[in-house]
Structures are given as C-alpha cells and as structure tokens.
Amino acid sequence: MAELSWENLEKAVSACRACPLYRGRLQTVLGRGSRSATVMFVGEGPGRQEDEQGLPFVGAAGKFLDVALESLSFDPADYYIANVVKCRPPMNRTPEPSEANACLNFLRAQFALVRPRIIVCLGSVAHTNLVSAEQSISRARGQWILKKGILFMSTFHPAALLRDEQKKLPFWQDLKQVRQKLDEVKAQTGAE
C-alpha cells in the first residue's frame, strides 16, 4: 500500500482482489464511526445488508450492538467499528483463514490510523486473528489482554446473542467492563 492515509486505504480496499471474496461483493465494507476513537470494535465480515450499504453492522446484529452501546452511554465519538474481512463471504459463511490473512493488513492499517487504546473482538474470528487461536471465545471472553500497548477484550458476536439468549448477560457484562475501561483510559489521557 502507498503512504498510510484514509484516502489510500479506501482506494486499496475498494480495488482489492487479494482473495476470492471480491467476486461476490457488491462493494467493500471498511468501517464506520469516529476515526479518532478510543475503542475499536472488530467483527467478522459484512453480511447482506452491510454489502448493500457499504457499512459494517447495519443489519440485525448491528442494531443489537447499537442499542447495547447506547444503553451503556457510549459516546459515538469514542468508537469505530470494522471487520476482519472487508468483503461479504458467500451465504454469510465464516471467512476462511486464508481470506482473513489476505485482509488483515487492511485492519492493521485501520488500527494505525485510528490508534485505539482498546480493541474489542466480537466473536471468534476476530478473537482468533487478533488475540489467540488457542482459546475458545467462551473461555477467553471478558478478560483484558495487553498487547503492544493496546488493551484487547474478546466477547461474543452480537449475532450469537440473537441465537442464544444465555449469551446476552455475559456480553452485557463484558461491554460494561469496556465502558468502565474507556472512562479510565480517557481520564488518564486527559491527565497526560
């Protein structure tokens, strides 16, 4: 990729043919939210509505996430939302490891541009690619991991909560922790 800038990243992503997923996309889906956010949420990949609108998490799972964030008084200026892969997998299947790998440099570029202090992995694809391939999401969720100065937290994917009510409470508890940590981090940076 050329020099790191949002403009260059947008161009590179929308022209990308690095894996077969480009064949099925209507458009690429880069991210939404504040580009100077303290928290980044990372999902799996676009679904049908995201592919149509060019924005992540705008379908049922996204609406659920938005309501949860609003209920916990997250300020939209504080978060940015992206996915591991930028093109919709066929039939919304899980992206293959090779597809995730082909796309990860774009996510890394987003991290470098946004410079979040906290990254929340939504579901096992984000968790596996960003935190650890060893532990399942059910075991790993809710724990803070510090990597290269960034705090990572993994939790369930919002779509999983729509299928399994029992995941809602732990998800809520995890987001509450993120909300508290956001306040702490902001208090620290304000004091620096």
Among 43, 89, 95, 116, binds ligand URA (CB under 6 A): 43
Q: Which residue is nearest to ligand URA (CB)?
A: 43
Could you count the other beta carbons within 10 Å of the beta carbon of residue 77? 10
CA distance 74 to 170: 18
Q: Please say which residue, 33 or 43, places its beta carbon nearer to ligand URA.
A: 43
- 116 lies in the site for ligand URA, by CB under 6 A: no
Q: Please say which residue, 168 or 186, places its beta carbon nearer to ligand URA.
A: 168
Q: Minimum Å distance from CB 121 to ligand URA? A: 11
Among 19, 38, 41, 83, binds ligand URA (CB under 6 A): 83
- 31 lies in the site for ligand URA, by CB under 6 A: no
- Please, which of residues 54-73 interact with ligand URA by CB under 6 A? 56-57, 59, 61-62
DSSP letters spanning 87-106: SPPGGGPPPPHHHHHHHHHH
CA distance 158 to 123: 8
Q: Please say which residue, 48 or 147, places its beta carbon nearer to ligand URA.
A: 48
Residue among 186, 44, 40, 179 at smallest CA distance from 119: 40
Amino acid (1-letter code) at residue 49: Q
Q: Determine the 3-state secondary structure of 150 from DSSP.
A: strand
CA distance 153 to 191: 24
- 50 lies in the site for ligand URA, by CB under 6 A: yes
Which residues of the shown chain bind ligand URA in the complex (CB under 6 A)?
43-47, 50, 56-57, 59, 61-62, 83, 159
